[in-house]
Chains A and B, each alone.
Chain A
Amino acid sequence: MADDRHAPKLDDEFNDDDLFASAIEIKVEAKADISLEDDRSNGLSPIEEQSHNLSAADEIDLNSDSEYKDGVPDTKAKIELRSEPEDIFEDIPEPKEVHRETMAGRSTLETLVTSPRTQSCNAYHAGTMIEEEKVITAESDGKFITISVKDPQKIGDGISSFLTYNVVTHTNIGLFKKTEMTVSRRFSDFLGLHDKLAEKYLHKGRLVPAPPEKNVVGTTKVKMAGGQTEHEGKLPEFVERRRAALERYLIRIAIHPIFQVDPDFREFLECEDELPRASNTSALSGAGVLRLFNRMGETVTKIAFKMGESDPWFEERHQQLETLESQFRRLQASLEGLYSHRRELAFATAALGKGLALLSNGEDHAGLSRALAKMAELHDKLEGVHNDQSNADFYILHELIKDYLSLLGVVKDVFHERVKAFQTWQHAQQMLAKKREAVDRWEATGRSDKVAPAKDEVLEWEAKVNRSQEEFDVISKAIKKELELFDLQRVKDFKAAFISYLEAQMKAQDKIIEHWETYMPEAKAIA
């Protein structure tokens, strides 16, 4: 339904392009209204509706504070235009504006300034912080979304073959067409999703989770592997790791309140057909090369430009994140070491088992021979236990740390975006100053013909200054919010991972006990 689809588009903060300001305003109000109704129909908890009203009030106040005198009359306009929601929505292309319905509270009545981005700054009032928490709990109250990635399958043969995965979603979030869906996706689809999200959100200061890395060697091995029968049995380990990583990636997107309702994401989960090939993600494509250049340029600017940090919070956070990163790296190194040594232990145990078996064959004393044979068996079993344990080491802990390292990388990128916004702002200020000087100069020399256009320029730059300042504020606030989310998530993830790891350890110990206990009578029985 048009309704359902458009309902959650409360906040078009992410519309960059061709929407006229007025269109935005209208849409927003209309949205506000519809969202109210639709929220109720979607069964949002009363908390959200309340908060939604709260922020409505807030927003109105803010409007009056904002520089744009537009604000005030617009609010009135809001009320008038309530009747015309649908049509306007029809015009607006879908991917542009979804905002989390769960953020309904904060973003309903947006301030009406020319740039859509600045609207989001109103979204992040102190009040909304509380809403965010409520949002998370609201999720667990009624709304949920679980995703799993399964059944890697090889399609095709030879160099043009690829792997697809089944993405299975269960959800009761109303935005989705169905409550359960299964689609088939390939790795480049995931990368394409990431690109779309990054394009939309990164420069707003949102932490877009990083997708799993490409792996040329592994992929080629899979491509070159023989026919169907071969791959049926055992796909290489790298496929299993990738599958687990893809699953974690999707889940991380899903728990983020904003991304959860993003239309691209939903399309990814829902659309039964094959998605258009995201050929931009390939390293050798034109886009890939462009990306490379961009990245190089960014690295240079990162080194060159030192931002005068006005907000101590960022300074502190940055430090903290740096230490966290180095700690993670060390932890990762030790975990890798642990993993490889445990593997070694497993091998050595197996080898000992074989040696003991041989020994028992050579032993002429019957009782001892039998005991040795049993011991050989025991060691084989122990090898299995050790192998399992090392798997736990790896999958649970190591991958977690790796994920977090890449997330920290994303955080750094986001910080950098903020620096860029700051740069733009400063630049705008400088230009403004220059233009003002120009005006003064022309006025002093009495060239009235030049004065007028110069004054226009001044106005233009003033607007730009304000806009970039707002952007900067927006991004700063967004980052703060995101980092809080990140922290919460981190604590949760770590706790869960360590507990499950230790449980695995316990199980392994239990098995070891079992094995040795079965052996004991054998040893005692040697005549």
Chain B
Amino acid sequence: MENSNNHLDVEKKSERSETVDLNDNTLQVDISDALSEREKVKFTVHTKTTLKDFAKQDFSVVRQHEEFIWLHDRFEENESYAGYIIPPPPPRPDFDSSREKLQKLGEGEGSMTAEEFKKMKQELEAEYLATFKKTVAMHEVFLCRLANHPIFRADTNFRVFLEYEQDLSVRGKNKKEKLETFLRSFSKTTDEILLGSTQKDVDEFFDKEKSFLLDYHSLLKDATVRADKMTKAHKDVADHYIKISSCLLEMATADTNQLERFATKTADIFEKARKIENRVSTDEDLKLSDTLRYYMRDTTAAKNLLYRRLRCLADYEGANRALEKARAKNKDVHAAEWSQHQACEKFEQMSAKGKEELIDFKVRRVAAIKKNLVELCELELKHANVTTPFTFSLKSF
């Protein structure tokens, strides 16, 4: 994973692989290419493996976003994975905002000079590119986590996903199915809340975890929203620098006296300042907001795990009660016993695995946040240090 270099967001990827336990090269997955067509983005998933189960050593397939989601759903549904934290699915590639801005820019073309227009277009294109890179990174991270997980990597669906050359013909859910999913998730949430209040957990560890995660999740969400707002404001400031610099440039060309050189230089400075501000804002976005966002999603996945476990516990207790009842009535004892036994096993397995996963999650989270904070700090310093010299140079005028 670290070796993939056609990918631009190496940092995020390597962060992932650093903090995941297994790190061998028997199965390497990356997204080597991505094409954006209108509404869809087509990812080229490239696999390199030394495992015998695969037909070839090195192969690529083309996948779309829906197919990633399909894969995630398969994992989520699988009962045997109930004890694990399923990596959160990547977000839909969202170019809407960029597209909107481009449209607005096109409409407003008449009101600004050719230069200004060109610059703003450049800005937009850079933004679009950045969003694109980000979405590719997200998808890749998802796949890598799956590939690195000892259990998940052996899943047949995963294998199919990687190998099957044809289109998986996973159609996006149509309206009815979407409604179904919505209702299901709704019932799930109510169930969760109900369980959360009625079911008392046997194990203190899990109890604490649960309350912690619930809180943490909402805090993370809040922080993410705010971080996003800040990044956007930063971008706006940078955009305005463009306008000012072009105004000044115009004034300079119209002015025939000493103000001309001065104004040109000032316009230049604003230009540079803008670029830097922009870079600052994208960096912030990357380091801070994205980290927060990712962990928010991860926390959701952890919460899901806990929920499943709780559900399992409820089932277990239900089975226990059924057994007692059966024993009391002295019929179907064997069936009840068996189901109780099943439930018990499942529950214990889940608890054990779950505990592991949650501890692991914590470690991962701390390390990742720390790394990102440090990098953010460094970048901010770098940028601030660069801006100072050229504002200084103007004083010589």
Contact = CB atoms under 8 A, between A and B. Distances in A.
Interface of A: 320, 323-324, 327, 330-331, 334-335, 337-338, 341-342, 344-345, 347-349, 351-352, 354-356, 358-359, 362-365, 367-368, 371, 375, 487, 490-491, 494-495, 498-499, 502-503, 505-506, 509-510, 512-513, 516-517, 519-520, 523-524, 526
B366 A526 contact: yes
A516 B397 contact: no
Contacts of B369: 368, 371, 526
A513 B247 contact: no
Interface stretch (B15-23, B51-59, B98-106, B384-392): B384-392
Given A327-B254, A334-B247, 12 more contacts: A324-B251, A342-B233, A344-B233, A351-B230, A358-B219, A365-B362, A491-B259, A499-B397, A503-B391, A510-B384, A523-B373, A526-B370
A230 B269 CA distance: 43
Given A334-B240, A355-B226, A513-B385, A345 B234 contact: yes
B248 interface: yes
Contacts of B391: 502-503, 505-506, 509
B331 interface: no
Residue of B237, B370, B384, B387 with highest tally of chain A CB at under 10 A: B237
Contacts of B241: 338
A373 to B, nearest CB: 12
Nearest to B241: A338
A487 B248 contact: no
Query: What secondary structure prevails in chain A residues at the interface with B?
Result: helix
Contacts of B216: 359, 362-363
B395 A502 contact: yes
B69 to A, nearest CB: 29
Contacts of A364: 212
A191 to B, nearest CB: 31
A371 B377 contact: no
Given A337-B243, A348-B226, A362-B215, A323 B254 contact: yes
Query: What secondary structure prevails in chain B residues at the interface with A?
Result: helix
Given A344-B233, A495-B397, A506-B392, A358 B222 contact: yes
B370 A491 contact: no
Given A341-B233, A348-B233, A359 B380 contact: no
Contacts of A354: 226
A352 B227 contact: yes
Contact of A330 (B220, B247, B257): B247
Contacts, number: 151
Contact of B394 (A335, A351, A499, A509): A499
B322 interface: no
A509 B362 contact: no
Interface of B: 212, 215-216, 219-220, 222-223, 225-227, 229-230, 232-234, 236-237, 240-241, 243-244, 247-248, 250-251, 254, 257-259, 262-263, 266, 269, 273, 362, 366, 369-370, 373-374, 376-378, 380-381, 384-385, 387-388, 391-392, 394-395, 397
B397 A331 contact: no
Contacts of A351: 226, 229-230
Contacts of B376: 523
25 contacts: A331-B244, A331-B251, A334-B243, A338-B240, A341-B236, A341-B237, A341-B240, A342-B233, A344-B236, A347-B233, A348-B233, A351-B226, A352-B227, A359-B220, A362-B215, A371-B373, A375-B373, A490-B259, A491-B257, A494-B263, A502-B391, A503-B395, A506-B387, A516-B377, A523-B377
Contacts of B385: 513
A83 to B, nearest CB: 49
B223 A352 contact: yes
B266 A498 contact: yes
B247 A327 contact: yes
A519 B243 CA distance: 33
A413 to B, nearest CB: 22
B245 to A, nearest CB: 9
List the 3 shortest-distance A-B pairs measured between CB atoms, nearest first.
A345-B233, A334-B243, A348-B230
A327 B250 contact: yes
A519 B380 CA distance: 11
B394 A516 contact: no
A281 B184 CA distance: 72
Contacts of A356: 223
Contacts of B215: 362
Given A487-B257, A502-B394, A506-B388, A495 B262 contact: yes
B345 to A, nearest CB: 31
Contacts of B243: 330, 334, 337-338
A301 B260 CA distance: 36
A45 to B, nearest CB: 26
Contacts of A516: 377, 380-381, 384
Contacts of A362: 212, 215-216, 219
Nearest to B378: A520
A520 B387 CA distance: 19
Contacts of B251: 324, 327, 331
Contacts of A499: 394-395, 397
A255 to B, nearest CB: 18
A335 B245 CA distance: 11
A481 to B, nearest CB: 17
A498 B262 contact: yes
B270 to A, nearest CB: 10
B111 to A, nearest CB: 9
B381 A513 contact: yes
B123 to A, nearest CB: 15
Nearest to A364: B212
Nearest to B217: A362
A505 B366 CA distance: 35
A322 to B, nearest CB: 11
Contacts of A349: 230
Given A345-B237, A348-B233, A505-B391, A334 B259 contact: no
B370 A368 contact: yes
A355 B216 CA distance: 12
Contacts of B236: 341, 344-345
Given A338-B240, A491-B257, A502-B394, A512 B384 contact: yes
Residue of B222, B223, B225 with highest tally of chain A CB at under 10 A: B223
Nearest to A335: B244
A114 B80 CA distance: 112
A506 to B, nearest CB: 5
Contacts of B370: 367-368, 371, 523, 526
Nearest to A397: B244
Contacts of A352: 223, 226-227, 229-230
Contacts of B226: 348, 351-352, 354-355
Nearest to B236: A341
B110 to A, nearest CB: 14
A338 B388 contact: no
B81 to A, nearest CB: 26
A290 to B, nearest CB: 38
Residue of A345, A499, A520 with highest tally of chain B CB at under 10 A: A345
Nearest to B216: A362
B179 to A, nearest CB: 34
Contacts of A363: 216
Contacts of B257: 487, 491
A503 to B, nearest CB: 7
Contact of A495 (B225, B259, B366): B259
A509 B384 contact: yes
